[in-house]
Amino acid sequence: MQMNPVGIAHAKSLIDQGQYRINTPWRDVQPSNAAARKFLEQHGAADYACWYLAIDPAQPENSAERYLLPYGDFKSIHRSGIVVARDRADREGATEVRQAVEDILDLFDRLNAC
């Protein structure tokens, strides 16, 4: 698992634009495999990649399997998705990914403190 700079930048951009949700349960909003594949087919790999915080470099470019750690519903970033991504990166020992995800979580925490 490696960090996906495009996904990290997009997540931060969504927060800056106010396209975020703070209190949604991830199990209720995470995209299904069917929804993810449909988005990939309709929007292409470049847009699809924006919605994932990590990649699996062993998987083929432009494949759905290459992208790991979704954080949103293809409309908004969800804090709950960021928490799940952080925990998974931690379990996988992906230190660089975990730190990048933690930075995004810090943005949410600063928003919530206001």
Residue ranges per structural domain of the chain: 2-113
Beta carbons of 79 and 25 less than 8 angstroms apart: no
Phi, psi of 46 (to 5 degrees): -65, -45
- Those residues with Cβ within 8 angstroms of residue 106's Cβ, 6 or more apart along the chain or in another chain: none
Query: pLDDT tens across 25-84, in order?
Result: 999 999 999 999 999 999 999 999 999 999 999 999 889 999 999 999 999 999 999 999
Count how many Cα atoms sit within 13 Å of the Cα of residue 90 in the half-sphere of its side chain: 8
DSSP-derived pairing of the beta strands 52-55 and 67-70? antiparallel
The 10s digit of each residue's pLDDT in 80-96 is: 999 999 999 999 999 99
| Residue 114, helix vs strand vs coil | coil
